[in-house]
Structure 1
Amino acid sequence: MNTFTIKDLENLSGIKAHTIRIWEQRYNFLKPSRSDTNIRYYSNDELKKVLNIALLNKYGYKISHIDKMGESELREKILTLTQTEAQQERIVNDLIQCMVDLDIERLENVLDSHIRVRGIERTITQIIFPYMEKIGILWLTNHINPAQEHLVSNVIRQKLIVGIEGIVTSLKINKTVLLFLPEGEYHELGMLFMYYLLKSRGVSTIYLGANVPMQDVEYVVNLKKPDYLYSHLTSVGHNFNFDKFISAITKKFNGTPIIISGLLTNSYEKKIPAHINFKKSFPEVMEFVATI
């Protein structure tokens, strides 16, 4: 069984830790355990309950009313939410619950169902990407089991690759983007997502993959002369040094615009060189794609 901190619940549900503490004091639906040092921690079931309660609360239900609901009524009310955003958030929450339960079959069914109805691109932008943003925080804090991460990542990776291989477009943009992840970074879902976005819009794309030595990137850059380099940093290994990475790509590729996105860009506070551009959110990533 996983255990989650109150900060994990805040990140996954969008409910501030202060509010969660108030809910614990006033209502009966949350009963966290305590560590030997009196720190709150929450079970899988409590995480799932907070996700459901946060969703109903966001779309109009009062907490005092939710507190009186049984499990079946809670699930029934969630299924009656008709707002498009609410339905998308419900699916993202379902995927999180599948992950903590290691219910990979159901996770695949949820994704396949949405792909059939909405198509691969909408599934990626509306479901997979928001889901990845949420669970990426757990990857950074090591608050999920590696087995969960690997199983979920492989399922999503398969969906993205099928989407990439199925792209048929008449668009043609005379720009080339080289995609790579530096040594120590193995989380390639964000990069595959970018691969899909760029290819579907007619951008010529060179995909080197994960854990690529800098000399290999340099070799391809010298040979192919791409217009942009793109890297997406989610959760690199302990040996990775962001400052050294910035310094190395600045020295080797000073004449090429470099785009970096991912969770790590939000924690980097030093000044970056003029030819390097951080994309710290999904809208910023989409803006870049639209302006190539």
Structure 2
Amino acid sequence: MDTSGDSKRRSEPEDEKTLLGLADVLALAGITKLVLHAWERRYGMAPAVRSETGRRFYTAAQAERLRLLKLCTDAGHRISALVDLPDQQLVRLAEAHIATGALGPLLRAVHALDAPLLQKLLQRRADEDGPEGFVRKTVVPLMQEIGARWATGNLNVAAEHMATAVVKRILGTIMDRCPPAPVDAPCLIATTPKGEEHEIGALVAALIARLRGWNALYLGPNLPNANIIDATLLREARHVCLSALNGKPDQLHRQLMDLRAALPASTFIWSGGPGYQPVPDIPGVSFIAHLDDFIALLEAHGGQSA
């Protein structure tokens, strides 16, 4: 969207057929004229074309960006914090908001400690969306929401443990059904570092790698460095994937430093999860912030497109 504050003025836009009028944009974006004009005044958002008679015309891309901004503000984000974000980041925020809204039945089952119902609902979604769609649309947003509710005291530990057990069981079943990896497939080991019991992130990483044709070995949670090193060397794995939800940054940093020093330089170490986010950069260790980034690395390092 043009953020210069000035838009082109024409008597009649030459490309009017490819542009959208104000009414169409408001309908597509789900905002009112007052809101749009306020955003234009405050943040320099301008229509693609403003005719000499004052009519406003917008591109389809501008309409889509306005729709994303509306979804993100509905999710509680301040418009001032959104206007400079790239479209891709707005899409992620909007998708998270939509996914959270669809989690209602699952979260009610979690709060009620109704494991059979949660299992039924999750299995239905897994069957409908397929393995990767299930991970993207349900597992990741559900576990994020459960973690947020636990952190704020709105969900007890028993419910969090129950939900984790059910999700783990379904993901494990999906992984068991994956076809064997080719004999020449790259090998990846996925686990969590010593002291980290939250394992869904590592399990998801192993599953996604399996779906992409990798020989992915999931080793469970809370694994000391010595065991990670032994497993990596024994399996001749070229990739080690670590996930951490919590943990002290200094301790996680030290563990990564020791692991990097002990493994061959040809072994790639990938870390992911909120626990690793504040950890300082380490040469030879890549932090993965998003599932899409992980998939891109898998494909770049020899995996297949799903």
What's the counterpart of residue 242 of structure 1? 252
Is 1:92–1:127's contact at 8 Å kept on the other side of the alignment?
yes
Aligned residue type for 2:242:
S
- CA distance in structure 1 between the aligned counterparts of 2:72 and 2:241, rounded to whole angstroms: 37
1:113 matched to which residue of 2? 124
Match of 2:291 among 271, 282, 289: 282
Residue of structure 2 aligned with 1:252, choices 243, 257, 262: 262
Offset at 1:104? 2.6
Equivalent residues in 2 for 1:45-64 (5 A)?
58=71
CA distance in 2, matches of 1:220, 1:242: 20
* 2:164 is aligned with 1:153: yes
- 2:277 is paired with a residue whose SS is helix
Aligned to 1:218: 229
Deviates more, 1:188-197 or 1:243-252: 243-252
1:229 to 235, 240, 258: 240
Deviations 1:140-161 (A, max 9, x none): 5665311011100000001001
TM (normalized to structure 2)? 0.61
Residue identity over aligned pairs, in percent, reads 18
* Residue equivalent to 1:191: 202
Residue correspondence of structure 1 range 10-89 to structure 2 within 5 A: 58=71, 88-89=99-100
- Are residues 184 and 140 of structure 1, via their aligned partners in 2, closer, same or farther at CA, if it must alter by over 3 Å? farther
1:205 is paired with a residue of what secondary structure?
Answer: strand
Paired residue for 1:144?
A: 155
- Partner residue, 2:65: none
One-letter amino acid matched to 1:286: I
Q: Distance in 1 between matches of 2:134 and 2:168?
A: 13
Go from structure 1 to structure 2 and tell me whether the alpha carbon gap of 1:248 and 1:142 turns closer, same or farther (over 3 Å shift). Answer: farther
How far 1:93 sits from its partner (Å)? Answer: 3.3
- CA 1:89–1:239: 2 relative to 1, 3 Å: closer
**Residues 96-135 of structure 1: matches in 2 within 5 Å?**
96-135=107-146
Return closer, same or farther for 1:232/1:141 CA change in 2, 3 Å cut-off.
farther
Partners of 1:151 and 1:214 lie apart in 2 by 28
Amino acid of the structure 2 residue aligned with 1:110: L
Instruction: Indicate if the aligned counterparts of 1:177 and 1:203 stay in contact, CA closer than 8 A.
Output: yes
- The residue identity in structure 2 corresponding to 1:250 is R
Equivalent residues of 1:139, 1:235 under 8 A apart: no
Alignment-mate amino acid for residue 262 of structure 2: K
Determine whether 1:264 maps to 2:272: no
> Where in structure 1 are there 5+ consecutive unaligned residues?
1-56, 62-83
Query: Who wins on radius of gyration, i.e. which is larger?
Result: 2
| Helix, strand or coil at the partner of 1:133 | helix
CA-CA distance at 1:197 after TM superposition? 0.9
Q: Which segments of 5 or more consecutive residues in structure 2 lack a partner in the other structure?
A: 1-69, 75-94, 302-306
Aligned amino acid, residue 190 of structure 1? G
Query: Which residue of 2 is the match for residue 30 of structure 1?
Result: none
Q: CA deviation at 1:59?
A: 9.9
**Cα distance, 1:208–1:142 mapped onto 2, change above 3 Å:** farther
Q: What is the root-mean-square deviation of aligned Cα atoms in Å? A: 3.2
Query: What's the CA shift for 1:263?
Result: 1.1
Secondary structure at the aligned position of 2:221 is classed as strand
Give me the TM-score of the superposition, normalised by structure 1.
0.63
Contact 2:182 2:215 in 1 (8 A): no
Aligned length: 213
Letter in structure 1 aligned against 2:197:
Y
Post-superposition offset of 1:254: 5.2
Q: Secondary structure at the match of 1:179?
A: strand
